[in-house]
Amino acid sequence: MGKKKKKEKQLFLRLNLLFLLTFVLFSALIFRLGLIQIVQGEEFVQQAERNTQRTIEGTAPRGYFLDRHYREIVTNEHMYTLTFTRQRELESRKVEIAQKLSALIDMDAKEILAKMEEGIFLTPHRIKTNLTPEEMARVAEHLDQLPGVEIMVDSERNYVYDGVLDTLLGSVGSITAENRDYYLSRGYRLNEQVGRSGLELQYEEQLRGVPSESIITVDRTQRIIDHPIEIPGRRGNDLVLTIDVEFQQAIEEIIAKEIETNPDIPKDKPAEQPLFVALNPKTGEILGMSNNVFTYKVGSYVPGSTVKMATVLAGLHEGIVTPHTVINDRPITIGRQTFRSWKTLGSVDAVRALQLSSNIYMINIGLKMAGSYSSDAVSRAQDQLREYYAQFGLGVPTGIDLPGESAGQIFDSADYHLPGRLAHLTFGQLDQYTPLQLAQYAATIANGGYRMQPYLVKEIRRGTAEDDGIGEVIWRKEPRVLNRIEMSEEHLRTVQRGMEAVTAPGGTAYGMFGDFPVKVAAKTGTAQTERPYNHTLLVGYAPADDPEIAFATLVPYSQRAQTQTQSPAQRITKEILSVYFGLEKNGEEDNGEETE
């Protein structure tokens, strides 16, 4: 009995000790939790908030433009830029900071303040670019009094050849309100510079560099509390163009000389200045272009007689004429309108119609295609002709790697479904095309009927450090055939012989190219306008037997009459081809042949 009581007493003691120990442990735990939540809670919260990290992106140098021989055309020029980074604690001091800055740089305090307001928090915003050495020195001396203000190394585009091709290369600028959503959705920062036009815009994703980064730690009020971690950026990819920059320089100089010396060409109206395109007919590579957006976009022009090869090929393919069909070129009347060639030419076949530029031969094809003068028949014939023209790239986009390309202008409303309008269409006095479309058209004839996509960028190479040379190829353009025209090789050869005859004795361009050492196949054109002056044109390719360059030249409002012997378009073309083939400058004496 005594032993049993003793065991019960010991068990009771052990249970009490266990309960006591448990109570002490729970009390310690509760005390610790209370200490953390009540005494130290605020400190821990602040510490967590204080450890928030932000990433600030710096500048991203853009990729270079190189010519086909890897000569630099556009690079980046380093400069110093004044920036301001908005921070919560500085909002009340912006006016004060702007006033201090206005005394140090050539900029009004109100303008500085407006720039500050444009920025977003914790993102450096450009206040003034390209600081002078004096401005930089003054600001640097007072940086300790200018919180949020920094001087950063920035870059701007440097045109190595003084603006050669700059209109087509395009421009860069800040992200605007109109396109901010587009760029933000693609991971851009609002302070980045982006392509605004030309190739800069077309190849924005490739040219864009990888921006440098600064990783900073801020507290809950966005105060920076630690030194930033710097991650360097990388230059964007480089674009290798199809153009030889020295040949391009020569093109621009020849055009500039014509503008300077020809009193009929305005010096302040790009739409009325000479336009030129040269491309490789076998690949579509652009070899050179006039440095003018009207070459491929914005406007278009009536092509005049340069369209006649397409009309002849349509007639041959439809069986309306054969290579040997002879038509008497003399004035004809359609309704109340009389049509004629630039002079009465007499009997002409397909080759001679091109050599002498017969309007009547072309009208005959159009009217026989219609079959009658009814509106429906005329409309069908116009549509049929345009389908043939489109196979050469006339009236449709060429596919060039430039933004905003014009497809030309087609006049196809009911008001134009008239026999006289059909006649105008057949010899290039109705629809309008760009010089680029005309060059692709000539190249298609030169290339055996294969229409190639024109392009300006042949390679994309990885951007490198300045002293590391040319980067590795990451993309190379492969020539692309857009289509092959329906016409037979025999019919195409007939038209090619007609173009060769244009520069032979009796042809409309013999006066200019009769003594040229390289055989040129061409077609002259005169497009009547609403003014007393006509457009002059020349399209073609050379050498005629193995073409390596196809071209189109258009000089708006540059001819008073159709009988002048040396049009500005022919003169410009001859000078450019002389440079291309490495020839001495040839004399341009008139041999007495009349030209269209």
- Three-state SS for 415-466 is HHCCHHHHHHHHCCCCCEECHHHHHHHHHHHHCCCEEECCECEEEEECCCCC
Contacts 24+ apart (CB under 8 A), 369-373: 369/314, 369/315, 369/318, 369/320, 370/419, 370/422, 373/334, 373/419
Cβ proximity of 591 and 571 under 8 Å? no
Crossing angle of helices 375-391 and 308-318, in 10° steps, is 110
| Interacting residues of 158 by C-beta distance below 8 A, sequence separation 6+ | 74, 75, 76, 77
Cβ proximity of 531 and 264 under 8 Å? no
Helix (H) or strand (E) holding 383: helix 375-391
Q: Which amino acid is at 505?
A: P
**Which pLDDT score, from 0 to 100, does residue 103 have?**
93
Domain 245-580 is found in CATH 3.40.710.10? yes
Q: What is the CATH number of domain 54-241?
A: 3.90.1310.10
**Which pLDDT score, from 0 to 100, does residue 137 have?**
81
The residue with tokens 């020839």 is 583
**Which pLDDT score, from 0 to 100, does residue 28 have?**
66
Cβ proximity of 358 and 384 under 8 Å? no
What's the token pair of residue 159?
């045109």
Helix (H) or strand (E) holding 95: helix 94-102
**Which pLDDT score, from 0 to 100, does residue 526 have?**
92
Candidates 116, 57, 107; CA nearest to 84 is 116
HSE-up of 92 (CA within 13 Å, CB side)? 1
| Interacting residues of 465 by C-beta distance below 8 A, sequence separation 6+ | 235
**Which pLDDT score, from 0 to 100, does residue 564 have?**
45
CB atoms within 10 A of CB 452: 25
CA distances (Å), origin 326, targets 34, 197, 331, 344, 349:
110, 51, 16, 14, 4
**d(Cα 311, Cα 385) in Å, to the nearest integer?**
7
The residue with tokens 């392009």 is 455
Candidates 165, 149, 142, 159; CA nearest to 94 is 149
> If DSSP codes are grouped into helix, strand and coil, which group holds residue 566?
coil
> If DSSP codes are grouped into helix, strand and coil, which group holds residue 246?
helix
Q: What are 16-51's pLDDT values in tens digits?
A: 666 666 766 766 666 666 555 555 555 555 555 555
Q: Are strands 213-218 and 229-231 parallel, antiparallel or unpaired?
A: antiparallel
**d(Cα 21, Cα 309) in Å, to the nearest integer?**
108
Q: Where are the beta strands (DSSP E) in 135-285?
A: 149-159, 172-174, 193-195, 213-218, 229-231, 238-241, 275-279
**d(Cα 586, Cα 517) in Å, to the nearest integer?**
9
Please state the domain extents for the chain: 54-241, 245-580
**Which pLDDT score, from 0 to 100, does residue 134 have?**
87
Residues of the chain with pLDDT under 50: 564, 586-594
| Interacting residues of 118 by C-beta distance below 8 A, sequence separation 6+ | 125
**Which pLDDT score, from 0 to 100, does residue 173 have?**
87
Candidates 447, 444, 396, 426; CA nearest to 311 is 426
**d(Cα 213, Cα 210) in Å, to the nearest integer?**
9
**d(Cα 90, Cα 150) in Å, to the nearest integer?**
14
**d(Cα 514, Cα 503) in Å, to the nearest integer?**
6
**Which pLDDT score, from 0 to 100, does residue 185 have?**
92
Cβ proximity of 279 and 505 under 8 Å? no
HSE-up of 68 (CA within 13 Å, CB side)? 15
**d(Cα 279, Cα 446) in Å, to the nearest integer?**
11
**Which pLDDT score, from 0 to 100, does residue 54 have?**
59
**d(Cα 518, Cα 544) in Å, to the nearest integer?**
8
Active site residue 305: yes
**Which pLDDT score, from 0 to 100, does residue 202 have?**
98
**d(Cα 54, Cα 43) in Å, to the nearest integer?**
21
**d(Cα 439, Cα 445) in Å, to the nearest integer?**
10
**Which pLDDT score, from 0 to 100, does residue 264 have?**
86
Cβ proximity of 148 and 97 under 8 Å? yes
pTM passes above 0.95 = no
HSE-up of 372 (CA within 13 Å, CB side)? 4
Cβ proximity of 567 and 538 under 8 Å? yes
Q: Which residue among the candidates 290, 300, 305, 578 is catalytic per the annotation? A: 305
